[in-house]
C-alpha cells in the first residue's frame, strides 16, 4: 500500500502512519521497519532504527524505488518492580 510521506517526518510518526494504514493497534503493537534500496548495482537492506536512517531512506526514495518491510510486534506489558527498600542493621 503506497503512502505519501513528507520528507521531514520522524521515525516515530512514520511508524504511526504505517500502523494506521495497516490497521494495527498502536497501543498493543509496534512495528519494525526494514528498507531495501538499490546500491552499487544491487539491493541493500537495512533496519530503520532512528531518524537518520529514516531520512536517508526517504531521500533515496526520491530517486529510486525503496521497498519497506513492516514487521508487527506485540508490546509485552510487564510489571516493573522497583529496587528493594529493605534496611539491614
For position 49, what pLDDT does the model report? 96
User: pLDDT digit of tens for each residue in the chain (89 aa)?
Assistant: 678 888 889 999 999 999 999 999 999 999 999 999 888 888 899 999 999 999 999 999 898 888 999 999 998 877 556 665 555 55
25 by Cβ neighbours in 10 Å (0-12 / 13-18 / 19+) ranks as: exposed
What is the reported pTM? 0.77
Tell me how far apart the alpha carbons of residues 13 and 35 are, in angstroms, rounded to a whole number. 16
For position 82, what pLDDT does the model report? 60
For position 65, what pLDDT does the model report? 86
Bridge partners (DSSP) listed for residue 70: 33
For position 39, what pLDDT does the model report? 82
How would you classify residue 74: left for phi > 0, otherwise alpha for psi between -120 and 50, otherwise beta?
Answer: beta
Amino acid at each position: 500500500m503506497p503512502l505519501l510521506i513528507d520528507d521531514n517526518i520522524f521515525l516515530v510518526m512514520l511508524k504511526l502512519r504505517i500502523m494506521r494504514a495497516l490497521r494495527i493497534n498502536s497501543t498493543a503493537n509496534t512495528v519494525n521497519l526494514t528498507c531495501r534500496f538499490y546500491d552499487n548495482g544491487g539491493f541493500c537492506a537495512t533496519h530503520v532504527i532512528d531518524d537518520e536512517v529514516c531520512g536517508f531512506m526517504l531521500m533515496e526514495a526520491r530517486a529510486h524505488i525503496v521497498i519497506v518491510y513492516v514487521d508487527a510486534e506485540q508490546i509485552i506489558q510487564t510489571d516493573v518492580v522497583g529496587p528493594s527498600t529493605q534496611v539491614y542493621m
